[in-house]
Each structure stands twice: as structure tokens, then as C-alpha cells.
Amino acid sequence: MSKPRLVPDAKAELVLAALRPSEYTAALIQVLQAKSATVRGGKVLEIGSGSGVVLAALGELGAASLCGIDIEEDAVTSGMLLLAELGHGETAELYLGDMWLPVAGRRFDLIVANLPHFPMERSDVPGRLPSWSAGGSNGRVLLDPFLEGLDAHLAADGRAIITHNAFVDLDCSRELLARHGLALSMALTTLVYIPDDKLSRMTASVLAAQDGRTIHRYGPYAFGEMHIVEIARHGAVS
Ligand SMILES: C[S@@+](CC[C@H](N)C(=O)[O-])C[C@H]1O[C@@H](n2cnc3c(N)ncnc32)[C@H](O)[C@@H]1O
């Protein structure tokens, strides 16, 4: 099957290339596949849906409805095209907007996110849109408002499954969630390759503190530890 097309021109090729899935996307889908019972029949939401491929995987796993939000118009357009092409057009809704704003007052059985949360101030990673990876100096600029908003958007027995770099303070996330009656558990820890384009833009103090701990360097090559974490109300974590 060919890739979804916005319009058949060079700009569309660049947009699709910029929205291409990453190793983070792959690890998130791997966990969602392993937890298909959590997905089946549920109302799901993805914040930062990018290409729409995670929503497509959730649709294939039997989600009852698919809702996606992205700050980039091209992501919303290509995500909708992908979902329609894969037969999920009827159950999918995609919104152009910021974080929780398009779904104010709504709750979901499963919320997934692979947010920009790489610790860096600059957002000019070549080949990606500025909104793709940068999470501010500590990586938390989007992560914190996402975690803060979960309680108001999760159904009573709802869950969230998200990517969480190990070099972005996990205890800080735990404490923030605990204030809202939520707890996190680790579903998967894996290594992701950190290309030099990103490593050279990483907040220097984070790199210095994490080098040899959660960041592993072999000559010019670097890998970072990354968790897929599951979040649920206290007492309901698996
Ligand atoms: C790391 S990408 C993940 C894309 C896709 N979910 C995946 O895993 O391949 C982060 C996505 O979040 C979107 N994004 C950034 N800031 C956002 C915001 N404030 N609200 C909604 N989406 C945002 C970006 O446009 C991008 O598509």
C-alpha cells in the first residue's frame, strides 16, 4: 500500500518525511500490541498524533473510537488520510489544537502520547518540524501539562500509555501524578539511538548528569534509555 498523499508534490514528500515514525513510535506500538485487551472496545485519545500511525495501530487493535490532536495542520491532514485509507475514517476524529484544549470536558478509556520531551531549548533538528522533539531545558514543557490534565480526561478505570525518556526525571512525574491520585508503572525499557543532530542540542547539564547512567556512548554513537510507562489511578496500576 502506498503512503498517504496530501498532494503529489515535493512539499508533500517533505511533510511525510518530517512526520515519519521513530524508534519511540515503534516501542509505543509494541507495548500497545502487548496490551491489546486494554485497547479493544475502548474510546482512545492520542495527544500529538503526528503521522496518525499510532492511532492506526490502535484501530487495528480494536479501539471503538479514535481521537487525535496535533498542533501541526499537516499532521492532522495526513493522519486523517492514513486513517481513512486503512478503513478507520468512520470512527476517527482528528483535531488541530494545543494539548487538551480540543477535548475539554471529555474522558477516554485509553490516552496515549509520544510527546516532544527531549531536553533541549533549540528546536531546529534537521529533517523534523520544530514541534517534534524539543521539550525545553528539562524536557518537561509539554510533559507536565499532559500529566496535569490526565485526571480530568481519564475515565474512572482509564489508563494512559506514554513514552518517557529515562533522562527526564521520572520521580518528578511520579510525584506530579501522585498529587492527582495517579500512579505509574513501567511497561518497557528500551534503548533508542540518539543521532548527533539531537545529542549536540541536548541541554548540557542533563547530558553531563546522565552520561554513563541513562545515556550510553560508544565512540561517536549514543543511545538513551527510554521507558514506556502506564499510568492509572492508585490501586489500579498493573
Ligand atoms: C514525537 S512526535 C510523535 C508523533 C507520533 N505520535 C509518533 O509517535 O510518531 C510529537 C508530536 O506532537 C505534536 N505536538 C507538539 N506540540 C503539541 C501540542 N502542544 N499539542 C498537540 N500536539 C503537539 C507534534 O506536532 C508531533 O506530531
* Whole-angstrom distance, CA of residue 26 vs CA of residue 48: 15
Choosing from 72, 111, 128, 192 the residue with most ligand 1 atoms within 8 A of its CB, the one to mutate for a pocket test is 72
CATH architecture of the domain with range 10-192+225-233:
3-Layer(aba) Sandwich (3.40)
Distance 98 CA to ligand 1 centre (A): 10
* Whole-angstrom distance, CA of residue 131 vs CA of residue 137: 14
Average confidence (pLDDT) over 223-235: 95
Please give the DSSP secondary-structure letter assigned to residue 3: P
pLDDT of residue 12: 79
3-class SS of residue 154 = strand
pTM: predicted TM-score of the whole model, two decimal places = 0.95
Render pLDDT for 95-128 as a digit per residue (tens, 0 to 9). 999 999 999 999 999 999 999 999 999 999 999 9
For residue 60, what is its C-alpha cell?
487495528
